[in-house]
Amino acid sequence: MKKTCLRFLSILFISGLLLPVPPAHAEAYFSNKTIELVVPFQKGGGGDIWARLMAPILPKYLPGNPKISVSNVPGGGSIKAANEFASRAKPDGLTILTTSLSTQFPFLLGDSRVRYDYDQWQVLMAYRSGGVVYTTPVFGIQDASEIAQLKDKRLLFGSQGVTSHDLVPMLAFELLGLDVKPIFGVRGRGAARLAFERGEATIDFQTSAGYIKYVKPLVASGRATPLFSLGALNDKGELVRDPEFPDLPHFAEVYETIHGKPPKGLAWESWFAFFSAGFAAQKLLVAPKQTPAEIIAMYQSAIRQMIEDSDYIASKEQETGAYEHVTGKRAEQLYKLATDIPVAQKQWVKNWLRTEYKLNI
């Protein structure tokens, strides 16, 4: 009987239904300590919004009730901070990192600047997200049904780099046949949005959190016109309308509006592959892989409680949308999806980057 019970517990542990139990001193582990939460972007973008949403709530559920200090470290479209984290962060739970698809894409494409490896990190939390493309009312466009009118316009787009967040909307512009000139060098989507507000850009893209918090007021005041959302994946892996923006057509619908037929072919498959990897787990919270299992268990337990916290739920829906936030095995599944692209689609994008931007990866 005893052997049977032990075997049953072992099966539960291996399957992830039971987490490692923290040691007896766990209650004091984070006492009087400050956790640095590194955000690889300037203030104002989706990753920063999420970090500042977590910062006051997560400590309530960590042993010892530590403080969380948010550190914004922009540069290289998130590569600078990710490289520093990979080389300097100790596996003690006191330095954690938020990443975004701007961190994932350079890694997936083999960017020579990348010194980090997702295989060397442990995911603590993940969530899906979406994004919206919008333009200036100056062109007289009312909605996506009139988007073909933009095909003879030279559009300016503030970009932090074509291998960052911006890869997916810029590929979308390419497939739609829009003449979009990127203005490289902005330090995050928040800075790009400010360039749009100043009239320096005429088309912009924001992930859901940035759009909800900063762009919806522009739309309400007549200073921005939404065109389309990128969409969302349903349970079958199909592209559907983003439930956060149900009134906006998704990218494939807009493609069909312009071209008169649904998208297909390797170019479309490449866009879809990078969209799926980037937005199915757009936001990740990670720790060094060598972080002890007991500390990881503390974080996972705290995150589960945070996700159920009424203040977090209310703020999450207001700040980042109603997307599900997950930890444990579900986060690990999304983490795998976010860091895997089929070879053919990856090569098509590399060839496109080489042809369009002289970028050899």
C-alpha span between 295 and 68 (Å, rounded): 16
pLDDT at 226: 98
pLDDT at 25: 55
C-alpha span between 204 and 209 (Å, rounded): 14
Sheet arrangement for strand 121-127: 67-72, 34-39, 95-99, 283-288, 121-127, 325-326
pTM above 0.85, yes or no: no
Q: How confident is residue 26, by pLDDT bands cut at 50, 70 and 90? A: low
Q: Is the pLDDT of residue 169 over 90?
A: yes
Domain 131-278+343-355 has CATH 3.50.50.60: no
Sheet arrangement for strand 131-135: 203-207, 131-135, 225-229
What's the rounded mean pLDDT across residues 24-30? 71
CATH class of 20-128+279-338: alpha beta
Give the dihedral of Cα atoms 295, 300, 301, 303; nearest 10 deg: 120
Which tokens is 170 given?
A: 């810029």
Per-chain mean pLDDT for the chain = 90
Q: How confident is residue 145, by pLDDT bands cut at 50, 70 and 90? A: very high
Question: Where is average pLDDT lowest: 1-5, 70-74, 152-156, 278-282?
Answer: 1-5
C-alpha span between 109 and 168 (Å, rounded): 13
List residues bridging with 156 in a β-sheet.
Answer: 181
pLDDT at 299: 98
- Pinpoint the residues of the chain covered by CATH 3.40.190.150: 20-128+279-338
